[in-house]
């Protein structure tokens, strides 16, 4: 099809704001356009709890669908479940959460603010990385095309000095975390002169452990109420149902069980909007394998999950793996997929080789056999598990951060546009009559009534076409079509593309295929399907 015209050129989409400014703007944008609201807002909110609005809920559903279909449709040997949030409290004893699901916390005596000791130290390490990157950037500008970055990193004294400082701190920190040495964590904070961001002082308390699980009571006091926990991960619901699914689904190892659901953690430091919440949603998949084969599967799932992220087209350079220094009590290998948020590279997904720890422990605590009979080997064993675990809310935040864009236009105006991956956009198509008369609204409604079975559509007849485009840009609608007087004669409409703002005239009968090509999950899933 031929592009007919573009009314306005995009002059500049360079990011002149600092990342902090972008983040602030993104948070207010999320509120203004119905993506995310602070929870209980009329009562001044509830810390680290958020509600998703009319646009947010659509984006969230689409993220979940993309994940669910990539697991369930693309893998014959993965099935889903939906287990309850309340579970028998002994599950959390067996999983190690009662005894070991702790964060090391420290208070500043002047500001009375509470911090995670490990996060304070990690932020200090990030400062060394920032210094290194600044040196590299400066040199790249100075030397231009002849710049040899690898050589510069190996030889520049300031870079080497900061690398040495970071590595030294890293080694000390990893050892303290692995040894659970709380006194050493405090000593690191003292030695590196880490100050409280609020008071600016170094007047710190001791470091203490804090359990992150919320608890409540089940049953009336007369019967004898039982202390139960709000699950801090969905994974345990999969472990305790693994044999039910294996037997009823006649599953053979290797096989996986996927689940999407809420999880709850009493986070000490609840900052950064929906990045760290007290109530959040996880998408987890446990993949059950033969003992001894787990590290092979771990590598395979690392690759598969990274492909899933990159297929969204948010920019390959925005992702990286980060291998864990401190392995959780259940893991023999673990890595995070990190995304470059406006506040730096942060974990979005964890991939863990959880050994047979959970199933083995549930066997012990429940007294029930959780073994699998492997017909090929002719023996029974407790399977090993590879887990992929991603937070829906963090995924939401990464997509919104990458999509948020302010652009200057040729006509002196500017626009805010969410360049969301089309398949995830809350609204796929907006339909506008050019004017509110002459039968154009009826024609526009007729088109929308036909397409609403295929995509989420929105009808808008208020204000100028320009203003209507801006409203759709702000919520990330990839396509707008305008019905004008010619439409009544030639059955053609003007389609306008969100990212380029280009417009072209197309037949009404072509709209569905044009949009479908770009918004269907099929084209997204095809990018990651094997074979």
Q: x/- string (CB under 6 A) for ligand GAP, residues 313-352?
A: ----------------------------------xxxx--
As given in the structure block, the two tokens for residue 417 are 């546009």
Single residue of 265, 302, 428, 496 touching ligand GAP by CB under 6 A: 265
Part of the chain binding ligand GAP (CB under 6 A), chosen from 73-81, 242-250, 383-391, 408-416: 383-391
Distance (Å, rounded) from C-alpha 382 to C-alpha 378? 14
**Which tokens hold the place of 489?**
């004669």
Among 181, 184, 267, 461, binds ligand GAP (CB under 6 A): 267
Are 287 and 387 in contact, with CB atoms under 8 Å apart?
yes
| Neighbour-count burial of 429, counting CB atoms closer than 10 A to its CB (0-12 exposed, 13-18 middle, 19+ buried) | buried
| Backbone torsions φ then ψ of 227, nearest 5 degrees | -75, 120
468's enclosing H/E stretch is helix 465-475
> Minimum CB separation from ligand GAP for residue 332, in Å?
15
Of residues 270 and 409, the one with the C-beta less far from ligand GAP: 270
235 binds ligand GAP (CB under 6 A): yes
Dihedral angle over CA of 482, 483, 486, 490, nearest 10:
100
Q: How far is the CB of 308 from ligand GAP (least distance, A)?
A: 14
Of the pair 394, 505, the CB lying nearest ligand GAP is at 394
129 binds ligand GAP (CB under 6 A): no
Residue placing its CB nearer to ligand GAP in the complex, 284 or 294: 284
Tell me: does residue 56 bind ligand GAP (CB under 6 A).
no
Segment contacting ligand GAP (CB under 6 A): 73-81, 96-104, 387-395, 437-445? 387-395
Among 284, 338, 358, 484, binds ligand GAP (CB under 6 A): 284
- Using CA atoms, how far residue 512 sits from 50, 107, 429, 452, in Å, is 35, 58, 10, 10
43: its two tokens: 């009562």
Question: Contact with ligand GAP (CB under 6 A): which of 282, 401, 477, 487?
Answer: 282
Q: Is 280 in the site for ligand GAP (CB under 6 A)?
A: yes
Are 183 and 168 spatial neighbours (Cβ–Cβ below 8 Å)?
no
Which pair of tokens denotes residue 354? Answer: 């959880």
Q: Which stretch binds ligand GAP (CB under 6 A): 34-42, 61-69, 388-396, 400-408?
A: 388-396
Report the nearest approach of ligand GAP to the CB of residue 488 (Å). 51
- The verdict on 362 binding ligand GAP (CB under 6 A) reads no
Residue 166 — φ and ψ, nearest 5°?
-65, -45
CB of 503 to ligand GAP, least distance (A): 39
Q: Which is nearer to ligand GAP, 36 or 132 (CB)?
A: 36
Could you tell me the smallest distance in angstroms from the CB atom of residue 329 to ligand GAP?
12
| Residue 444 near ligand GAP by CB under 6 A | no
The answer to whether 432 contacts ligand GAP (rule: CB under 6 A) is no
CA–CA dist 133, 153 (Å, integer): 10
- Please tell me whether residue 394 binds ligand GAP under the rule CB under 6 A: yes
| Distance in Å, CB of 500 to ligand GAP, minimum | 33
Q: How far is the CB of 345 from ligand GAP (least distance, A)?
A: 13
* Closer by beta carbon to ligand GAP, 289 or else 348: 348
Partners of 38 in the beta sheet?
Answer: 50
Burial code of 174-212, b = ≥16 C-beta within 10 A, e = fewer?
A: eebbeeebbebbbebbeebebebeeeeeeebeebeeebe
Query: Count of CB atoms within 10 A of residue 109's CB?
Result: 13
* For ligand GAP, the closer CB: 128 or 275: 275
Report the candidate in 272, 264, 267, 279 with the shortest Cα–Cα distance to residue 114: 267
Q: Are 355 and 330 in contact (CB under 8 A)?
A: yes
User: Are 485 and 436 spatial neighbours (Cβ–Cβ below 8 Å)?
Assistant: no
Q: Which one of residues 390, 418, 420, 447 is an interface residue with ligand GAP (CB under 6 A)? A: 390
3-state helix/strand/coil string of 261-276: EEEECCCCCCCCHHHC
For ligand GAP, give the closer residue by CB, 350 or 433. 350
- Note whether 254 binds ligand GAP by CB under 6 A: no
Binding site for ligand GAP (CB under 6 A): 233, 235, 265, 267, 276-277, 280, 282, 284, 347-350, 387, 389-391, 393-394
């Amino acid at each position: 099809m031929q592009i007919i015209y573009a009314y306005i050129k995009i002059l500049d989409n360079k990011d002149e704001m600092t990342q902090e400014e972008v983040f602030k703007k993104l948070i207010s944008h999320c509120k203004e356009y119905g993506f995310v609201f602070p929870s209980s807002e009329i009562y001044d909110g509830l810390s680290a709890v958020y509600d998703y609005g009319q646009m947010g809920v659509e984006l969230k559903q689409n993220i979940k669908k993309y994940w669910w279909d990539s697991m369930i449709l693309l893998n014959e040997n993965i099935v889903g479940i939906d287990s309850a949030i309340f579970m028998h409290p002994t599950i959390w004893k067996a999983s190690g959460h009662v005894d070991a699901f702790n964060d090391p916390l420290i208070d500043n005596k002047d500001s009375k603010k509470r911090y995670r000791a490990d996060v304070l130290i990690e932020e200090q390490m990030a400062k060394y990385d920032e210094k290194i990157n600044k040196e590299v950037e400066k040199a790249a500008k100075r030397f231009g095309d002849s710049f040899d970055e690898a050589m510069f990193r190996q030889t520049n004294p300031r870079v080497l000095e900061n690398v040495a400082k970071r590595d030294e701190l890293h080694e000390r920190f990893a050892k303290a975390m692995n040894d659970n040495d709380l006194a050493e964590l405090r000593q690191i904070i003292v030695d590196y002169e880490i100050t409280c961001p609020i008071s600016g002082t170094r007047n710190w308390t001791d470091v203490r452990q804090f359990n992150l699980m919320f608890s409540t009571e089940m049953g009336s006091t007369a019967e004898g109420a039982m202390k139960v926990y709000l699950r801090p991960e969905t994974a345990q619901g999969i472990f305790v149902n693994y044999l039910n699914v294996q037997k009823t689904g006649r599953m053979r190892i290797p096989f996986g069980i996927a689940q999407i659901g809420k999880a709850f953690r009493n986070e000490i430091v609840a900052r950064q909007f929906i990045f760290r919440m007290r109530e959040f949603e996880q998408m987890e998949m446990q993949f059950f394998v033969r003992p001894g084969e787990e590290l092979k599967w771990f590598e395979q799932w690392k690759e598969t999950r990274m492909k899933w992220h990159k297929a969204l087209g948010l920019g390959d350079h925005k992702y990286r793996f980060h291998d864990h220094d401190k392995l959780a009590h259940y893991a023999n290998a673990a890595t995070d997929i990190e995304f470059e948020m406006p506040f730096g590279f942060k974990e979005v997904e964890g991939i863990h080789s959880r050994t047979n720890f959970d199933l083995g422990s549930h066997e012990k605590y429940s007294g029930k056999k959780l073994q699998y009979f492997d017909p090929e080997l002719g023996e029974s064993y407790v399977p090993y598990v590879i887990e992929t675990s991603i937070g829906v809310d963090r995924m939401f935040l990464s997509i919104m951060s990458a999509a948020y864009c302010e652009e200057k236009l040729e006509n002196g105006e500017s626009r805010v546009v969410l360049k969301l991956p089309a398949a995830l956009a809350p609204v796929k198509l907006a339909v506008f009559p050019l004017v509110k008369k002459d039968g154009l609204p009826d024609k526009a409604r007729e088109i929308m009534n036909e397409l609403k079975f295929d995509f989420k559509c929105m009808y808008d007849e208020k204000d100028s076409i320009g203003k209507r485009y801006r409203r759709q840009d702000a919520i990330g609608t990839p396509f707008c079509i305008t019905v004008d007087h010619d439409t009544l004669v030639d059955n053609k409409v003007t389609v306008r593309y969100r990212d380029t703002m280009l417009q072209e005239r197309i037949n009404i009968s072509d709209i569905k295929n044009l949009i479908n090509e770009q918004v269907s999950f099929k084209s997204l899933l095809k990018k990651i399907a094997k074979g």
